[in-house]
């Protein structure tokens, strides 16, 4: 079994782009080196939308990662930087990495929204866009 974690973030302004990208690079590097990590990747879409897809040995390994280092430092900033932010997790049999299409499908079907300071209209309405 593997624990899969997907996030979708949309920056609310290009003024946050450089600090966000710097923190994203550091967080991705941290994830790839984290104990229990099996896979870590990111993806960019138009309109400042960024995705992460990580696969972990178990949920506790993922939780240890998100609370520490670069990732732990950037999380509080996202409530100000983003107008859309959501996550979805699931257990997956086998070691295969899910496709981005599967990640999108699961996000839309069962993603959880973060509380944000400046949510978009879609975010405020509880709509997750793929």
Predicted confidence band of residue 26 (pLDDT cuts 50, 70, 90): very high
User: Measuring CA to CA, which residue among 20, 12, 14 is closest to residue 74?
Assistant: 20
Domain assignment present for 33? yes
- CA pseudo-torsion sign 58, 100, 121, 16: positive
Predicted confidence band of residue 12 (pLDDT cuts 50, 70, 90): very high
Domain assignment present for 130? no
Classify residue 95 by its DSSP letter: S
User: Measuring CA to CA, which residue among 58, 73, 63 is closest to residue 26?
Assistant: 73
Domain assignment present for 13? yes
Interval 74-119: pLDDT, tens: 999 999 999 999 999 999 998 789 999 999 999 999 999 999 999 9
- Answer whether residue 53 shows pLDDT above 80: yes
Structural domain including 57 reads 2-124
Question: What is the reported pLDDT for 61?
Answer: 97
Report the C-alpha gap between 84 and 12 in whole angstroms: 8
């Amino acid at each position: 079994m593997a624990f899969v974690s997907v996030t979708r973030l949309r920056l609310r302004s290009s003024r946050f782009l450089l600090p966000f990208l710097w923190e994203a690079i550091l967080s991705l590097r941290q994830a790839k080196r984290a104990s229990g990590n099996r896979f870590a990747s990111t993806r960019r879409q138009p309109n400042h939308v960024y995705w992460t897809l990580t696969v972990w040995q178990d949920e506790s390994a993922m939780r240890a990662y998100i609370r520490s280092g670069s990732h732990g430092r950037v999380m509080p900033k996202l409530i100000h930087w983003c107008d859309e932010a959501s996550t979805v997790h699931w257990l997956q049999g086998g070691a295969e990495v899910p496709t981005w299409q599967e990640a999108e499908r699961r996000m839309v079907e069962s993603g959880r929204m973060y509380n944000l300071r400046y949510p978009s209209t879609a975010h405020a309405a509880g709509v997750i866009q793929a």
